[in-house]
Amino acid sequence: MTHFIDRRLNPKGKSLGNRQRFLRRARTQIREAVQKSLKDTSVADIDKDRKIRISTKGTKEPRFRLDPKAGGEHDFVLPGNKQFTPGDEIKKPPSGDGGGRGKEAADFAEGDDEFEFTMTQEEILDIFFEDLELPNLVRTTLKDTPNKVWKRAGITTAGSPTQINLIRTMRNAQGRRLALHRPKLKDVEALQAELDALEQEPEINREKIAALKEQIARLTSKRKWVGFIDPVDVRFNSYTEQPVPTSQAVMFCLMDVSGSMGEREKDLAKRFYMLLHLFLKRRYKRVDIVFIRHTHDAQEVDEQEFFYSRQSGGTIVSTALDKMLEIQKERYATADWNIYAAQASDGYTQSGDARRCVEMLNNDIMPLCQYYAYIEILDEREMEVFASEESGAELWRAYRTVADGWPNFATKRISKPADIFPVFHELFKKTEAMS
């Protein structure tokens, strides 16, 4: 028999298996606590462990309990004491003497209201990103794909213990026992009871007793060599590896870094893109990210320059769309790639440029894109002034006309760091059609 021993180290001497089971049981409460915790969290601090508080409901380990209605006698092993002796009956404590929780707490006893524990960065990100997805993602090609899935390929006589097919194994065992006429235990017990009765009689029938003993020994021996389950009965589920179409995607990140974008606006935009970058790299293996910064001129830059460069200048938003189309035509054919874009701006551009942006979006970009998200960065005073979706800067009003004609075009506003997580979650949440 093969034995498998898991020698992986648990973190900080704790039981990893128990922790994972706890997270699964309390997932709903934990998800709500994480969402609430992240609302006031800086994106820069998302890589830190955080303390999460949930109610004690549902945190207990599951256990078996004896049904009090079943009755009968039950044995308990209790520590010794000086007060009670065997046979004493222990009375039930009067109401209010024991501790309780919440509304059931006693007047003079301690209870538990909330349960606090620390979640790691990996656990927090798993919870936050689990119900997010790139919208309208289409499987495009089989070329150079590393993605494979395991498909059922019938039954085999060899395999790992975890792949045992119990139904087929027990069916084979039963058929073998019937074919070889394996004696039933109740038949052996019946013969043994008959033998015991004969031995208790005053007149002993030695011949019959000897015959019964011989028959019992023969049946017992046959039960041993015709086992209940034999290695030849065991069957395993077989699986084969099959390639699946890969979902290649490219995300264009278009950020306005012109003079009208102050440090606060740029910081909010960078925080949003940091969260987007983290989401894509964590959830998808084959996603390219193209970083484009623009003032009056647009440039493709690397990740370091995108987040930390201090370049500034005039504002012509259409240059970023031109650069995006240029890169898409050179490197990302729509037959092989899903095209996505996320644009962040303060809504101000050169006079007449908003109209050109709308024409480019309607005629050139949106027919290619699976999804386009526009995030406008405002201050809190502007957010109050532009409370209506129809009011706003020139670029916002122009982009609203695009959103009316394209269901895969989304517009959102951000005015403070607390808006980033809710807006991001709303932009990329799973829909019924995709889930």
- Residue 51 clears pLDDT 70, i.e. is over it: no
Question: In 3D, which of 294, 203, 248, 261 has the Cα closest to residue 377?
Answer: 261
What are the C-alpha distances in Å from 47 to residues 4, 126, 245? 35, 12, 32
Q: What is the pLDDT of residue 409?
A: 92
243 or 401: which leads in pLDDT: 401
pLDDT band at 106 (very low <50, low <70, confident <90, very high): very low
Tell how many helices (H) and how many strands (E) occur in the chain.
Answer: 13, 10
385 or 59: which leads in pLDDT: 385
pLDDT in tens, 162-207: 788 888 899 999 898 888 888 888 888 888 888 888 888 877 778 8
pLDDT in tens, 304-342: 888 887 777 788 889 999 999 999 999 998 888 889 999
Question: In 3D, which of 213, 228, 219 has the Cα closest to residue 177?
Answer: 228
Residue 250 contacts residue 290 (beta carbons within 8 Å)? yes
pLDDT in tens, 268-313: 888 888 888 888 887 777 788 999 999 888 899 988 888 887 777 7
> Helices 353-360 and 318-331, interaxial angle, to 10°?
30
How far apart CA 302 and CA 367 sit, in angstroms, is 27
Q: Please give the backbone phi and psi of residue 119, each rounded to the nearest 5 degrees, phi first.
A: -105, 140
How far apart CA 424 and CA 375 sit, in angstroms, is 10
Q: What is the mean pLDDT of residues 383-407?
A: 80
Q: What is the pLDDT of residue 44?
A: 47
pLDDT band at 109 (very low <50, low <70, confident <90, very high): very low
Q: What is the pLDDT of residue 145?
A: 46
145 or 60: which leads in pLDDT: 60
Q: What is the mean pLDDT of residues 198-227?
A: 84
pLDDT band at 18 (very low <50, low <70, confident <90, very high): low
Q: Please give the backbone phi and psi of residue 413, each rounded to the nearest 5 degrees, phi first.
A: -120, 145
Q: Give me the CATH code for the 249-428 domain, please.
A: 3.40.50.410
Residue 421 contacts residue 275 (beta carbons within 8 Å)? yes
Q: What is the pLDDT of residue 104?
A: 47
Question: In 3D, which of 234, 242, 231 has the Cα closest to residue 155?
Answer: 234
Sheet hosting strand 369-377, strand order edge to edge: 298-301, 287-294, 249-256, 338-345, 369-377, 409-414
- Residue 45 clears pLDDT 60, i.e. is over it: no
pLDDT in tens, 77-93: 766 677 777 777 777 76
Provide the percentage of residues in the chain whose pLDDT is more than 90: 11
Radius of gyration for the chain, computed over Cα atoms and rounded to the nearest angstrom: 35
- Residue 241 clears pLDDT 60, i.e. is over it: yes
How far apart CA 121 and CA 11 sit, in angstroms, is 14
- Residue 371 clears pLDDT 70, i.e. is over it: yes
* Residue boundaries of the structural domains of the chain: 8-61+113-130, 161-238, 249-428
Q: What is the pLDDT of residue 142?
A: 42
